[in-house]
């Protein structure tokens, strides 16, 4: 069934509204009253007070399509078919109300009867201890044993103490041509063949301070389905970026650059980075964040700079991201009127930021190229930490940008020495300014939330107090 992103979003809400759920609007990407998070990164994040009992929801069943930002996936963007830094998470939630017996069959019904996915292509993972979930998948839904795969920590959701529990993830087999070809490739493999579309979390335990698990008197359901992923399946396109939620952005970037999408793998990565990062920045600014040197502001700045650089890789040497802002608004404005209402403001902020970066970027890249030429001439393979720091400090190059450019020519960057330089600068900077509260907590939360994260760490980012902007 070919459905637009908007149709899927609406069908999902309607399906669960018909089953007693209150339709919640997406919360702002900027967390409200939550010092542990930099950005809302899951549908349940703004609903935390309902999960831990601090507040009582109007109804014990909620459905939403939540705007999410995950900076830990930044390195994946353009390289996997399924990761963005901004995505929408469709979610249904139960607060001490229904549990697995309802959540699992409903998920199945929605996927196979409403979205009309081929049941033969679906498989699931469960936690190895979760015989209850196994029985529902096997006996109620009728899934054969070989398509119910028992996993371990990937199928257990917890952050330190508090409510936690097993989860069951649903995968769609995109076909062998998407696979890594390994003999043990199945649901849960990190390649793009078995696409994780939906995570059902069964919050049934409380993790106690002594590390033991006690059953919760009121069990919760917390699910999350990536809208762009399910759209890629339904629209039969090979990755999230070719869905109607993204494609107009790629087309616009193709027009501006004169390059053609789909002809060169390296260029395609840049198209995807541009489309992704622009969307993230538009929504972040739409929710009140602004480019800056710290925290959320630095994330926006970093995303814009990466997108600028991808633009340059496609041959665009002038500010152009601001021209894509209205495209985001065209795609998303109906269900997210905030981006439409703030269009002019967002465009202006993006343009100013782009212009400032262009001024320093060209100078930094020229310098780096000279350094790499010299290293090559001397038969060396590693750029000194001091040089990387100079690019960072004087030209606003994030370390990953320097590493990317160096890697393209086969060079390494001495990250440890860079970190030392940074540490020294931090010490100096600390004396000159106040540290914002809760930064360590945010970093810890980000790190624990993500398995195998390559996010460079919040401390490193927040340390950039006097990056030249």
Sites of contact with ligand ATP (CB under 6 A): 70, 73, 82-84, 87, 89, 196-199, 224-226, 228-229
Of 231 and 256, CB closest to ligand ATP? 231
User: In angstroms, what is the C-alpha Rg of the chain?
Assistant: 23
Task: Check binding of 28 to Mg ion (CB under 5 A).
Answer: no
CB of 448: closest distance to ligand ATP in angstroms?
12
Of 196 and 354, CB closest to Mg ion? 196
The residue sitting closest to Mg ion, measured at its beta carbon, is 199
Of 196 and 365, CB closest to Mg ion? 196
Nearest to 353 by CA among 298, 430, 414: 298
Nearest to 253 by CA among 304, 317, 323: 323
Q: Are 206 and 157 in contact (CB under 8 A)?
A: no
151: left (phi over 0), alpha (psi -120 to 50) or beta: beta
Of 195 and 372, CB closest to Mg ion? 195
Interface of this chain with Mg ion, residues 180 to 199, rule: CB under 5 A = 196, 199
- Residue 83 interacts with which of Mg ion, ligand ATP, none, CB < 5 to 8 Å by class: ligand ATP
- Residue 21 interacts with which of Mg ion, ligand ATP, none, CB < 5 to 8 Å by class: none
CB of 191: closest distance to ligand ATP in angstroms?
11
Of 73 and 173, CB closest to ligand ATP? 73
CB of 34: closest distance to Mg ion in angstroms?
20
CB of 169: closest distance to Mg ion in angstroms?
5
Q: Are 82 and 240 in contact (CB under 8 A)?
A: yes
Rounded Cα distance, 138 and 141, in Å: 6
Q: Are 254 and 197 in contact (CB under 8 A)?
A: no
The residue sitting closest to ligand ATP, measured at its beta carbon, is 226
CB of 359: closest distance to ligand ATP in angstroms?
32
Q: C-alpha angle 444/450/453, rounded to 5°? A: 95
Burial of 388 (0-12, 13-18, 19+ CB in 10 A): buried
The DSSP bridge pattern shows strands 61-69 and 22-24 to be: parallel
Instruction: Determine phi and psi for 291, rounding to 5 degrees.
Output: -60, 145
Of 196 and 421, CB closest to Mg ion? 196
Q: Give the dihedral sign, CA 67/71/73/76.
A: positive
- 410 secondary structure, DSSP code: T
Of 82 and 313, CB closest to ligand ATP? 82
CB of 243: closest distance to ligand ATP in angstroms?
11
Rounded Cα distance, 100 and 119, in Å: 20
CB of 387: closest distance to ligand ATP in angstroms?
32
- Residue 403 interacts with which of ligand ATP, Mg ion, none, CB < 5 to 8 Å by class: none
**Which residues are at the interface with Mg ion (CB under 5 A)?**
196, 199
């Amino acid at each position: 069934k070919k459905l637009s992103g908007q149709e899927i979003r609406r069908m999902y809400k309607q399906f669960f509204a018909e089953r007693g759920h209150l339709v919640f609007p997406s919360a702002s990407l900027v967390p409200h009253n939550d010092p542990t998070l930099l950005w809302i990164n899951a549908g349940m994040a703004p609903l935390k007070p309902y999960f831990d009992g601090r507040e009582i929801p109007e109804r014990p069943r909620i459905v939403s399509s939540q705007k999410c930002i995950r900076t830990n996936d930044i390195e994946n963007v353009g390289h996997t078919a399924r990761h963005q830094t901004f995505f929408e998470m469709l979610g249904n939630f139960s607060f001490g109300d229904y549990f697995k017996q309802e959540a699992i069959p409903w998920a199945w019904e929605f996927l196979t009867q409403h979205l009309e996915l081929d049941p033969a292509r679906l498989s699931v993972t469960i936690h190895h201890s979760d015989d209850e979930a196994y029985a529902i998948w096997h006996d109620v839904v009728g899934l054969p044993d070989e398509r119910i795969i028992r996993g371990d920590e990937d199928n257990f959701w917890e952050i330190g103490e508090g409510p936690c529990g097993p989860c069951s993830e649903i995968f769609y087999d995109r076909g062998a041509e998407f696979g890594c070809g390994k003999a043990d490739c199945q649901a849960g493999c990190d390649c793009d063949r078995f696409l994780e579309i939906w995570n059902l979390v069964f919050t049934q335990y409380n993790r106690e301070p002594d590390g033991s698990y006690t059953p919760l008197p009121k069990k919760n359901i917390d699910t999350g389905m990536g809208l762009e992923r399910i759209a890629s399946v339904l629209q039969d396109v090979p990755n999230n970026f070719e869905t109607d939620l993204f494609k107009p952005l790629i087309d616009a970037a193709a027009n501006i650059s004169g390059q053609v999408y789909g002809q060169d793998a390296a260029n395609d990565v840049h198209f995807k980075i541009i489309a992704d990062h622009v969307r993230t920045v538009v929504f972040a600014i739409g929710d009140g964040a602004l480019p800056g040197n710290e925290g959320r502001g630095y994330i926006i700045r970093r995303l814009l700079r990466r997108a600028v650089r991808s633009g340059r890789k496609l041959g665009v040497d002038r500010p152009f991201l601001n021209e894509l802002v209205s495209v985001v608004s065209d795609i998303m404005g109906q269900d997210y009127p905030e981006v439409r209402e703030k269009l002019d403001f967002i465009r202006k902020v993006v343009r100013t930021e782009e212009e400032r970066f262009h001024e320093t970027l060209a100078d930094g890249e020229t310098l780096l190229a000279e350094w790499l030429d010299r290293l090559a001439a001397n038969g060396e393979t590693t750029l000194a930490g001091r040089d990387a720091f100079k690019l960072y400090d004087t030209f606003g190059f994030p370390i990953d940008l320097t590493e990317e450019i160096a890697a393209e020519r086969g060079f390494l960057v001495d990250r440890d020495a860079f970190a030392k330089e940074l540490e020294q600068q931090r010490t100096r900077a600390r004396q000159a300014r106040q540290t914002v509260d809760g930064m360590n907590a945010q970093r810890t939360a980000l790190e624990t939330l993500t398995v195998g994260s390559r996010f460079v760490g919040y401390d490193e980012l927040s340390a950039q107090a006097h990056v030249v902007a």
